[in-house]
Chain A
Amino acid sequence: MIIISLIFITQTAYSQRELGRKERKILYNSSYNYEIQPLGVGQDGTKVVKVWGYGKSVEDAVQVAKRNAVAACIFRGIPAGPGVATTPAIVRDPNAAQEHADYFEEFFQTGGKYLNFISLSTDAAPSGSDRLKIKRKYYKVGVSAQVMYDNLRRELEQEGIARRLDKGF
């Protein structure tokens, strides 16, 4: 019994060392932590994706997921999926987020302009495997969303953040 207890305590301590509460919080809130996958080829100028978000409530996590979908299209792109090719990031300069920090801070603020470029295709709050309670009062939810990719690209081109294909000609 004592040995089993010791093993359990050691394991817990080890796992906590590997990814502590603080680290997990940083990970969930990281601006690079986009969990996104394509669901199919969207209509003209749009991308249909499944995207995940973390939050203290399901509603919060859904909002974070929406923001992540737009952020992924801007900074990281969407990986290829079955029958769907890779979607490149709209902004290819890796330092763009820092260089245009003021713009993006306003763009991604609560109720910000980013909401113009996303719509959810799931009406109800996510349930089942799309709604995971990862600890007490902390949720991870997955939502299906449609990103207005071409409109988003045009917006960033107009702001001079993304490069137009015909720039310089």
Chain B
Amino acid sequence: MTVKNNVLIVLLIVFSIQSVLAQRARKPTIMVVPSERYCIDQGFSQTFDNQGLEQTIPNYRKAMQNDAQLRLVITKMSGIMADRGFPLKDLEQELRNLQTQDAEMEMLMSRESGSMVAESPIDRLKRVAKADIILDLDFTINERGPQNWITFNLRGLDAYTSKIIASAAGTGNPSTSAPPDLLLEEAVLSHMDEFNSRLSSHFEEMFDIGREVSVTVRVWNSSYFDLYEFFDYQGHDMELIDIIEYWIEDNTVEGRYSLSDGSANFLRFEQVRIPLFMTDPRGRERAYDTRRFISDLSSYLRKEFNIESQIHQRGLGEAWLIIGER
């Protein structure tokens, strides 16, 4: 075998490794969050007056600090999910990190000018515990005489489409001998295989027909035009709203999307199926997400119609494009 052949083989191996490594979709983050019903029922909530309307919201920090059984269930679920290749984001740690971040942001300043870190009100709002898939957990320890049994309810929610993508629920066998902690452990073990099987179906569907995301187009108040403005589209006068819809149709998997609502000032596309991979200008295949998708729409509007816009990302599965100015 010649040196030339050896070089060729090495190059081929490098290319195939590169393409395998490149073809990885963005992995969704998953976090277990106790349901609102659970928190309120257990007294981990706070009530405040929202413009004359009394509102009760869950206090997750209090729940994580005081509820040993909740922590046990989350730990058990975390172990199972980590084993399946999806280590969970820990709500307790996430809340602690946010608290530390808040303190650091207050204190951090430049050595030269003493400038503070730039943070807009929207940046501050975005500093909350979040994940792409929320595992909404609810359980009840039922008692009747000496018997205990568990009612378990787990829902996997896509944070952007608000759809339930996997679920598992059921009631355990009453027991007089097993303590509630053991019954809770049993409930998790009993339901997680079914739950993960449904989650797996969701991922398989995603790889077949693309990631489901939401896209919203809005107009800055200062813009001199709205979405009903006419533009020249391939020699025809066409409203901007239709031009955007055509672009969405052309760039979604099998043209799958639904224009759920719209007006002169906003357009909301739901069930938008975007491909998981794209080829970048350097010819490499890369993971595709909503930010890149909306960035492509922004480039198209700027190049073809001289429309400036700004992207506002709301996680892996949702983005806004605000047109009129940058």
- Measured in the bound complex, the distance between the Cα atoms of B85 and A163 in whole Å is 12
Do A150 and B83 touch across chains, with their CB atoms under 8 A apart?
A: yes
Check: B157 CB closer than 8 A to any chain A CB. Answer: no
Do A85 and B27 touch across chains, with their CB atoms under 8 A apart?
A: no
B interface residues, tally (CB under 8 Å) = 31
Given A41-B186, A88-B197, A92-B197, A166 contacting B86 (CB threshold 8 A): yes
Q: Within 8 Å CB of A19, what residues of B?
A: none
Check: B271 CB closer than 8 A to any chain A CB. Answer: no
Query: Residues 25-50 of chain A: 1 if any B CB is under 8 Å from the residue's CB, otherwise 0?
Result: 00000000000000011101000000
Task: Find residues 147-167 in chain A having any chain B CB closer than 8 Å to their own CB.
Answer: 149-150, 163-167
Task: Find residues 192-239 in chain B having any chain A CB closer than 8 Å to their own CB.
Answer: 193-194, 196-197, 199-201, 203-204, 207
Task: Find residues 77-115 in chain A having any chain B CB closer than 8 Å to their own CB.
Answer: 80, 82-88, 92
Task: Find residues 161-216 in chain B having any chain A CB closer than 8 Å to their own CB.
Answer: 168, 170-173, 186, 189-191, 193-194, 196-197, 199-201, 203-204, 207
B23: nearest chain-A partner, CB-CB: A168
With beta carbons under 8 angstroms apart, the residue of A83, A163, A166 that contacts B171 is A83
- Measured in the bound complex, the distance between the Cα atoms of B172 and A83 in whole Å is 4
Given A82-B173, A83-B173, A168 contacting B190 (CB threshold 8 A): no
Given A165-B199, A168-B25, A88 contacting B194 (CB threshold 8 A): yes
Do A169 and B24 touch across chains, with their CB atoms under 8 A apart?
A: yes
Q: Within 8 Å CB of B204, what residues of A?
A: 163
Q: Within 8 Å CB of B144, what residues of A?
A: none
Question: Known contacts A80-B170, A87-B193, A88-B194; can you find 10 more A-B pairs with CB under 8 A?
Answer: A41-B190, A42-B189, A83-B190, A85-B191, A85-B194, A92-B197, A150-B83, A164-B85, A165-B199, A166-B86
Binding site for B on A (CB under 8 A): 40-42, 44, 80, 82-88, 92, 149-150, 163-169
